[in-house]
Amino acid sequence: MKRTLTLNLSTCLIAVVIVGISPHTVQAQGQPPPDHPSITVRGQTYTPRSILARNMGTPEDQSTAFPPHKVIGNIYYVGTRTLTSYLVTTPQGAILINTTYERNVPVIQKSVEQLGFKFSDIKIVLGNHAHGDHQEGDALVKQLTGAQVMAMAEDVPALQAMKPGGKAHPIDRILHDGDQVTLGGTTLVAHLTPGHTRGATTWTMKAEDAGKTYDVMFGCSLRAPDKLTPQNIEEFNRSFMIVRALPCDVQLGDHGAQYNMQAKYARLRSGGPNPFIDPGSCKVEAEIAETMFRAILAEQGGRQP
């Protein structure tokens, strides 16, 4: 169990370093994410390497603010070009989902302020999964705002190992599958969707916008590692079933590329109906991830369940 976690984490971190240099160069140590298997989903071809490159972009993309914007209802985008961060505002303060890298905290703070909100109003910090590009900033955000950090039980060990500048990772409430987090009339539900990490979490909530109610899904990465173990095979099989069954009008993700954020934002700016309301595309990322997972499994000579 521990070995799997270490492998996943190191694969992700090494890959981050590589993509940081150039999406297609070979990393200094270990293997780059392989360029096989190749899969095609809805006319687009992907390899593990291309998916990671798409998710991470360049180092500049990872640390440069994407224009902060309202997504729908009380949900706002405050992340970078490739690493998402969402502010959910309520009359009793705000919830921040994904602090990203610690160095991005001032970037997120600026985006929150640009939208007219106070960073110090953040009362709760949540995350999609225990990797540094999504949750490394938790300790600093807590330090700056006093927010409560809440995390899925299965991700707690990986979070506790995440200590930027030696700071202990704060965890004020341990969550379990199906737990609810409520603030100022907004309730988020935590769905355990493991595989990418042991406690990877898909968050759902309802958003009210222009008199209608929408199901919003904050999807988490379902990207399989290069080598699947019996444990993560079982986890992914369960997670794909769960994600496919979740009600969804608006799909978000821990990387903007998972829901075509940049293209949708361009359409948002040109006016017309809210492009983020797009039930038809809600499960595309899960379809890509599952097709890749099954292709990796087949390459490994595994039985396709």
* Footprint on this chain of Zn ion (rule: CB under 5 A): 12, 131, 221
What ranges in the chain are assigned the alpha helix state H? 2-21, 48-56, 59-63, 105-114, 132-135, 138-145, 156-160, 230-245, 261-269, 284-299
Q: Which one, 47 or 182, has the nearer CB to Zn ion?
A: 47
Q: Which one, 127 or 170, has the nearer CB to Zn ion?
A: 127
Q: Which one, 254 or 278, has the nearer CB to Zn ion?
A: 254
- Distance in Å, CB of 194 to Zn ion, minimum: 12
Residue 291 CA, chain-centre distance (Å), reads 19
Q: Give the Cα separation of 247 and 249 in Å (integer).
A: 7
E-assigned strands of 82-232? Answer: 86-90, 93-97, 122-126, 148-152, 173-175, 180-183, 186-192, 201-209, 212-218
Residue with tokens 């949540």: 126
Q: Which one, 11 or 74, has the nearer CB to Zn ion?
A: 11
Neighbours of 24 (CB within 10 A): 12
- Distance in Å, CB of 271 to Zn ion, minimum: 35
What ranges in 64-185 are assigned the alpha helix state H? 105-114, 132-135, 138-145, 156-160
- Distance in Å, CB of 59 to Zn ion, minimum: 16
Which residue type is seen at 250?
V
- Distance in Å, CB of 284 to Zn ion, minimum: 19
Select from 166, 154, 69, 55 the least CA-distant residue to 100. Answer: 55
Q: Give the Cα separation of 165 and 99 in Å (integer).
A: 16
Helix/strand/coil for 126:
strand
- Distance in Å, CB of 83 to Zn ion, minimum: 10
Q: Which one, 93 or 127, has the nearer CB to Zn ion?
A: 127
Order of all β-strands in the sheet with 69-72: 69-72, 75-77, 86-90, 93-97, 122-126, 148-152, 173-175
Q: Give the Cα separation of 224 and 122 in Å (integer).
A: 32
- Distance in Å, CB of 221 to Zn ion, minimum: 5
- Distance in Å, CB of 294 to Zn ion, minimum: 20
Q: Which one, 12 or 289, has the nearer CB to Zn ion?
A: 12
Q: Which one, 186 or 221, has the nearer CB to Zn ion?
A: 221
Q: Which one, 90 or 160, has the nearer CB to Zn ion?
A: 160
Shortest Cβ contact with Zn ion: which residue? 131
Q: Give me the half-sphere count of Cα atoms (radius 13 Å) on the Cβ side of residue 78.
A: 32
- Distance in Å, CB of 210 to Zn ion, minimum: 34
